[in-house]
Amino acid sequence: MTIKEIQEELIDEFSMFDDWMERYEYMIDLGKSLPLINPKEKTEDKLIKGCQSKVWLHSELKNDKVVFTADSDAIITKGIIAILIRVFSNQPPEAIINADTDFIDAIGLKEHLSPTRANGLVSMIKQLKLYAVAYQAQLK
């Protein structure tokens, strides 16, 4: 599936819920399916510091596609990471570079991606894209 298709799929899934509590419970559930970063990779250089919750992000290039694994110490953050990874992982670098994150708004989780929220997610998206840029250069 393309990034756009996965985003549409997520919007579809989240449209089933009519209150925030159900959306959050679903997001927390999605967090449990997050492809976890290998504990060996949980090193300082893989750590994205938000002021309040920590995010670890690791990437590899497999068959010209970027594969991400990650983790967080907070489970709501973990849920959002799982959503982002589902969208961005296993995609060609170029698609990752060009993708936007507007779908987060559509699924009602916009507040988590505010640059002033201290959860490290905005930095994480930046980092996802930086990895993609680096792999893109490698492929050329």
Kindly indicate which of the ranges 38-46, 69-77, 93-101, 128-136 contains the residues binding other proteins, using the contact rule CB under 8 A: 69-77
104 class by beta-carbon count within 10 Å (0-12 exposed, 13-18 middle, 19+ buried): buried
Residues 105-134 contacting other proteins, CB under 8 A:
118-119
Q: Can residue 52 be called a binding residue for other proteins (CB under 8 A)? A: yes
Residue 33: active-site member: no
For 80, residues 6+ apart whose C-beta sits below 8 A from its C-beta are: 27, 31, 104, 109, 112, 113, 119, 121
CB-nearer residue toward other proteins: 72 or 91: 72
Helix axes 75-88, 20-32, angle to 10 degrees: 70
Kindly indicate which of the ranges 33-41, 52-60, 86-94, 130-138 contains the residues binding other proteins, using the contact rule CB under 8 A: 52-60
Q: What is the DSSP string of 79-128?
A: HHHHHHHHHHTTB-HHHHHH---THHHHTT-GGGG-TTSTTSHHHHHHHH
Q: Can residue 26 be called a binding residue for other proteins (CB under 8 A)? A: no
Residues 72-91 contacting other proteins, CB under 8 A:
73-77
CB-nearer residue toward other proteins: 54 or 129: 54
Which listed residue (18, 51, 63, 115) is catalytic? 51
Q: Please identify every residue annotated as catalytic.
A: 51
The footprint of other proteins (CB under 8 A) covers 20-21, 24-25, 28, 51-54, 73-77, 118-119
